[in-house]
C-alpha cells in the first residue's frame, strides 16, 4: 500500500478520534447557542456565567474526587457524605463552639483523611467490595451528621471563609472556581506525568496483571480512596463557604450528578478513560442543560430526571468507547 493510500485510509479514523475527543465540547457549545437564542436576556449574561462557574465548583471537586478511585476500578459512594460531614463539622466547631475557622477547616480535612483510611483498610484488608463499603460508611456518616447537627441547618459561619470562597473574585468569577480548576490541573498532571498516576491507571486496567508486574495494588487503591475522601472534605469546605451555612442533607444532592459527570467525561478528551478535563467539561455540560431548562420555565423536578437520564446515557456511551467491556461491579 502506498503512503498516499495509507494516508487516505487513515483520515476517517482521525475524524472519528477528533469527534470522540471534542464532541462533548461541541455539544456544550450547542447548548449555549440554543439557550442563548431562546433566552438571550437571562441566559447570555455575565451574571449567569459567573454564577454558574462559581456555584458549581463544589460539584467539580466531588467529580474530580470520584474519578480517582474509579480510575483504579473502585467506587467511592461515601464522598458525598464526607462533604456533608466536613461542612457540618466546620459549622458546629466555628458557630456553636467558637473554634477559629482555620482549626475548624483542619478538623474537617482530618475527617476526610480518617474516612479515606477506613475505606481503604476495609476494602483492601477485609476484601469487601468498594461499593458495599463506601455505601455503608456513607450511610453511617449521614447519621453522624444528623446527630451532631440535631438535623438542623447551621448558619452564621465566620465571614473569613465566605470571603475567600465567593466574595473575592478574579475577572468577576468567585475564587472557588479557580480552586476547582487548580485541582483539575493538578490531577491531570498526576495522571499524565507521574509514576503514581500511571500505576493507578495500570491497576484499574487489570489488578492481577499489575500485581504480577510488581505493583502494590492494595497500596495504590488505598491511596486513591484516601485522595477521594480528602477531595470530598475539601468540597465540604467550599460548600460551607459558598452557602455560609451547613445543611445536613447537602452532600447527597451532589452524588448522582458527580457520577453522571464522571462517566460522561470519560467519553471526552481522553475517550475510554476517566480524566479530569473531561469531567470538568461534563459538569458544566450537565449544569448548562439544567440552567437552560429552568430559564425556559421547566419545573424543578426535571433536574432529577435530567441527571438520572444523563447517568444512564453517560455509562452507555462510556461502554461503547471502552468496547463494551462489562462493568466490574
pLDDT for 46 equals 83
Determine the distance from the C-alpha atom of residue 206 to the mean position of all C-alpha atoms in its chain, rounded to a whole number.
23
- Cα–Cα distance, 262 to 286 (Å, whole number): 11
Q: Does residue 70 lie within any of the structural domains?
A: yes
Per-residue pLDDT band at 327 (split at 50, 70, 90): very low
| Nine-digit cell string for 240 | 460551607
Q: Does residue 90 lie within any of the structural domains?
A: yes
- Cα–Cα distance, 216 to 291 (Å, whole number): 44
Structural domain count of the chain = 1
pLDDT for 6 equals 47
Q: Does residue 308 lie within any of the structural domains?
A: no
Q: Quick one: average pLDDT of 79-98? A: 95
Per the DSSP assignment, residues forming a β-bridge with 245 are: 155
| Nine-digit cell string for 177 | 472556581
pLDDT for 8 equals 53
pLDDT in tens, 173-197: 999 999 999 999 999 999 999 999 9
Range of 141's domain?
Answer: 57-249
pLDDT for 32 equals 87
| Nine-digit cell string for 202 | 495500570
pLDDT in tens, 221-236: 999 999 999 999 999 9
pLDDT for 311 equals 72
Q: Quick one: average pLDDT of 57-68? A: 95
Percent of the chain with pLDDT over 70: 89
pLDDT for 320 equals 67
| CB environment 250-286: b (16+ within 10 A), e (fewer) | bbebbbbbbbbbbbbbbbbbbbebbbbbbbbbbbbbb
Q: Does residue 43 lie within any of the structural domains?
A: no
Per the DSSP assignment, residues forming a β-bridge with 173 are: 170
Per the DSSP assignment, residues forming a β-bridge with 154 are: 246
| Nine-digit cell string for 125 | 484488608
Examine the pLDDT at 328 and tell me if it is beyond 50.
no
The position carrying cell 472519528 is 16
**Residues near 51 by beta carbon (within 8 Å), at least 6 away in sequence:** none
Examine the pLDDT at 323 and tell me if it is beyond 70.
no
pLDDT for 11 equals 57
- Cα–Cα distance, 60 to 64 (Å, whole number): 6
pLDDT in tens, 284-301: 988 888 888 878 777 666
Examine the pLDDT at 83 and tell me if it is beyond 90.
yes
Q: Does residue 31 lie within any of the structural domains?
A: no
Q: Quick one: average pLDDT of 49-57? A: 85
Q: Does residue 82 lie within any of the structural domains?
A: yes
pLDDT for 171 equals 86
**What value does the mean pLDDT of the chain take?**
86
pLDDT for 95 equals 93
Q: Pick the most confident of 5-9, 82-86, 168-172.
A: 82-86
pTM: 0.90
∠ CA 114-227-283 to the nearest 5 degrees? 125
pLDDT in tens, 263-285: 888 888 888 889 999 999 999 98
Q: Does residue 115 lie within any of the structural domains?
A: yes
Q: Does residue 303 lie within any of the structural domains?
A: no
| Nine-digit cell string for 233 | 472534605
- Cα–Cα distance, 36 to 164 (Å, whole number): 31
pLDDT in tens, 114-139: 999 999 999 999 999 999 999 999 99
pLDDT in tens, 4-45: 554 554 556 676 667 678 778 888 888 888 888 888 878 888
SS (H, E, C) the chain: CCHHHHHHHHHHHHHHHHHHHHHHHHHHHHHHHHHHHHCCCCCCCHHHHHHHHHHCHHHHHHHHHHHHHHHCCCCCCCHHHHHHHHHHHHHHHHHHCCCCHHHHHHHHHHHHHHHHHHHHHHHHHCCCCHHHHHHHHHHHHHHHHHHHHCCCCEECCCHHHHHHHHHCEECCEEHHHHHHHHHHHHHHHHHHHCHHHHHHHHHHHCHHHHHHCCCCHHHHHHHHHHHHHHHHHHHHHHHHHHHCEECCCCCHHHHHHHHHHHHHHCCCCCCCCCCHHHHHHHHHHHHHHHHHHHHCCCCCCHHHHHHHHHHHHHHHHHHHHCCCCCCCC
Amino acid at each position: 500500500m502506498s503512503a498516499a493510500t495509507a494516508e487516505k485510509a487513515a483520515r476517517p479514523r482521525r475524524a472519528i478520534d477528533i469527534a470522540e475527543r471534542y464532541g462533548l465540547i461541541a455539544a456544550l457549545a450547542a447548548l449555549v447557542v440554543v439557550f442563548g437564542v431562546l433566552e438571550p436576556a437571562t441566559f447570555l449574561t455575565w451574571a449567569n456565567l459567573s454564577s454558574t462557574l462559581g456555584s458549581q465548583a463544589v460539584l467539580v471537586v466531588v467529580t474530580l474526587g470520584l474519578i480517582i478511585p474509579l480510575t483504579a476500578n473502585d467506587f467511592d459512594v461515601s464522598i458525598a457524605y464526607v462533604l456533608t460531614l466536613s461542612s457540618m463539622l466546620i459549622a458546629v466547631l466555628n458557630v456553636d463552639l467558637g473554634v477559629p475557622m482555620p482549626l475548624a477547616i483542619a478538623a474537617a480535612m482530618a475527617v476526610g483523611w480518617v474516612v479515606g483510611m477506613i475505606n481503604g483498610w476495609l476494602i483492601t484488608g477485609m476484601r469487601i467490595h468498594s461499593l458495599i463499603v463506601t455505601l455503608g460508611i456513607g450511610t453511617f456518616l449521614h447519621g453522624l451528621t444528623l446527630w451532631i447537627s440535631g438535623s438542623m441547618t447551621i448558619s452564621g459561619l465566620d465571614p473569613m471563609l465566605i470571603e475567600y470562597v465567593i466574595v473575592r473574585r478574579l475577572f468577576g468569577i468567585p475564587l472557588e472556581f479557580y480552586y476547582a480548576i487548580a485541582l483539575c490541573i493538578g490531577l491531570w498532571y498526576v495522571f499524565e506525568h507521574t509514576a503514581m498516576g500511571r500505576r493507578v491507571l495500570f491497576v484499574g486496567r487489570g489488578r492481577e496483571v499489575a500485581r504480577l508486574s510488581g505493583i502494590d495494588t492494595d497500596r495504590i487503591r488505598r491511596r486513591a480512596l484516601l485522595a477521594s475522601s480528602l477531595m470530598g472534605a475539601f468540597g465540604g469546605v467550599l460548600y460551607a463557604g459558598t452557602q455560609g451555612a451547613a445543611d445536613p442533607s447537602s452532600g447527597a444532592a451532589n452524588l448522582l450528578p458527580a457520577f453522571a459527570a464522571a462517566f460522561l467525561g470519560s467519553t471526552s478528551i481522553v475517550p475510554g478513560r476517566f480524566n479530569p478535563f473531561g469531567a470538568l467539561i461534563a459538569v458544566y455540560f450537565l449544569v448548562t442543560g439544567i440552567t437552560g431548562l429552568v430559564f425556559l420555565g421547566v419545573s424543578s423536578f426535571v433536574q432529577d430526571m435530567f441527571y438520572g437520564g444523563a447517568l444512564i446515557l453517560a455509562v452507555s456511551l462510556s461502554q461503547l468507547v471502552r468496547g463494551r467491556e462489562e462493568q466490574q461491579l
